[in-house]
């Protein structure tokens, strides 16, 4: 188990966080379509390799979550992608769920699949160099959602996943994402997220998962995208910290937020404020997909040959996130780029 604790520490300590580059081919195709780049395996690799070779990988990125296609690809310097990531001191990780499917008997909700054959797939990923994994459960909010069925089923799957991952010598990232879609307010988000997190930990404990060798990847507490409530980052931080303190056992060493549709700046401002106010024992950092890659993808799509320009754009975002993970981000530094 001590091996798991040191992997966890390496990923989230010292202002480092996680680059979530594990978009499935379908999602990556949507992202590339949006910037008019053909979604070929070569282009998907080219963009990702450009990020993984950036300078900020050394100081700001403690772990990279990969997709099945990417973990098996070879970089232009002939290294495998996990070797390229490890060479900067970051830990290679892998998304191991096989996606969220319609939940039987609650067809507006989803259950994440991928437990069948997982033990064998984990052995393969370990051999390929992965030392941590991700599984994402998704929940919608409305008056009647998430249903008890969705809360229970996804928590059960997350816990069985986490137990298998620890058995295979890797650190599980437990990601229950309560989505921002809808017109619910921040209090609703607080209540529903608390319920989801409490159930997850009930199941993780039942499955004897060693919480000290896990990382939680939750949503922040925010109003839905269609809600009229205007929220200050101080209130986001207060509600988010209250939710974590009440619902997450203190043995959990770290919390790495998803960005979930926030802009790059919102994701940084909110994380910064959370760290300024954090009095808990949790290390609080980022595991961002869109909020780390959006500007870099936009730049790259127009300047595919300009590697250093793409990397500069990514380095700036990674540095802003890393400052926010220490509560040291300012608007002035943000605008210096
Ligand atoms: P976003 O930061 O874009 O929400 O992605 C994080 C992630 O890995 C979702 O599973």
Please give the Cα distance from 40 to 12 (Å, whole number).
32
Give the closest residue (by CA) to ligand 1 atom 5.
289
Ligand 1 neighbour 186 (Cβ under 6 A): no
Only one residue has tokens 């984990």, namely 122
Query: Is the pLDDT at 96 greater than 80, yes or no?
Result: yes
Residue 231's domain comprises 2-335
pLDDT digits (tens, 9 = 90+) for 26-64: 999 999 999 999 999 999 999 999 999 999 999 999 999
What is the total count of domains within the chain? 1
Burial of residue 59, with CB atoms counted within 10 A of its CB: 0-12 exposed, 13-18 middle, 19 or more buried: middle
Catalytic residue among 23, 175, 177, 273: 175
1 confidence band (pLDDT: 50, 70, 90): confident
The per-residue pLDDT for 333 is 97
Which CATH number is 218's domain given? 3.20.20.70
Ligand 1 neighbour 20 (Cβ under 6 A): yes
- Ligand 1 pocket test: pick from 99, 133, 288 the residue with the most ligand atoms within 8 Å of its Cβ: 288
The per-residue pLDDT for 92 is 98
pLDDT digits (tens, 9 = 90+) for 263-287: 999 999 999 999 999 999 999 999 9
Whether 269 is a known active-site residue: answer: no
SS3 call for 263? coil
Please give the Cα distance from 71 to 73 (Å, whole number).
6
Please name the helix (run of DSSP H) or strand (run of DSSP E) that holds residue 194, with its range, or none: helix 186-206
Whether 175 is a known active-site residue: answer: yes
pLDDT digits (tens, 9 = 90+) for 121-151: 999 999 999 999 999 999 999 999 999 999 9
Mean pLDDT, residues 187-206: 98
pLDDT digits (tens, 9 = 90+) for 158-178: 999 999 999 999 999 999 999
Averaged pLDDT score across all residues of the chain: 98
Give the closest residue (by CA) to ligand 1 atom 10.
136
């Amino acid at each position: 188990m001590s091996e798991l604790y040191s992997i966890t520490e390496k990923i989230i300590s010292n202002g480092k966080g996680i680059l979530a580059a594990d978009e499935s081919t379908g999602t990556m195709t949507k992202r590339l379509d949006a910037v008019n780049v053909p979604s070929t395996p070569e282009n998907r690799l080219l963009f990702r390799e450009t990020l993984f070779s950036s300078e900020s990988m050394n100081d700001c990125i403690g772990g990279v979550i990969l997709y099945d296609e990417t973990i098996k690809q070879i970089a232009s310097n002939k290294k495998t992608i996990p070797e390229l990531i490890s060479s900067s001191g970051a830990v290679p990780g892998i998304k191991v769920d096989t996606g969220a499917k319609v939940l039987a008997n609650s067809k507006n909700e989803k259950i994440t699949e991928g437990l069948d054959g997982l033990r064998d797939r984990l052995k393969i990923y370990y051999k390929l160099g992965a030392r941590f994994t991700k599984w994402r459960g998704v929940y919608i909010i409305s008056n009647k959602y998430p249903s008890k069925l969705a809360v229970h089923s996804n928590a059960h799957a997350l816990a069985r996943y986490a137990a298998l991952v620890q058995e295979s010598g890797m650190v599980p990232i437990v990601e229950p994402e309560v989505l921002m879609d809808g017109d619910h307010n921040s209090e609703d988000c607080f209540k529903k997220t608390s319920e989801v997190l409490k159930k997850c930990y009930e199941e993780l404990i039942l499955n004897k998962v060693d919480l000290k060798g896990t990382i939680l990847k939750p949503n922040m507490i925010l109003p839905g995208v269609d809600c009229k409530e205007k929220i200050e980052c101080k209130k986001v931080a207060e509600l988010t910290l209250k939710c974590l303190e009440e619902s997450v056992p203190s043995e959990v060493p770290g919390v790495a937020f998803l960005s979930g549709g926030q802009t790059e700046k919102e994701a940084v401002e909110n994380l910064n404020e959370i760290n300024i106010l954090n009095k808990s024992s949790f290390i609080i950092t980022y595991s961002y997909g869109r909020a780390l890659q959006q500007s870099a993808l936009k730049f790259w799509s127009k300047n595919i040959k300009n590697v250093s320009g793409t990397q500069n754009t990514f380095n700036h975002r990674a540095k802003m996130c890393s400052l926010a993970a220490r509560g040291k981000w300012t608007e002035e530094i943000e605008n210096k780029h």
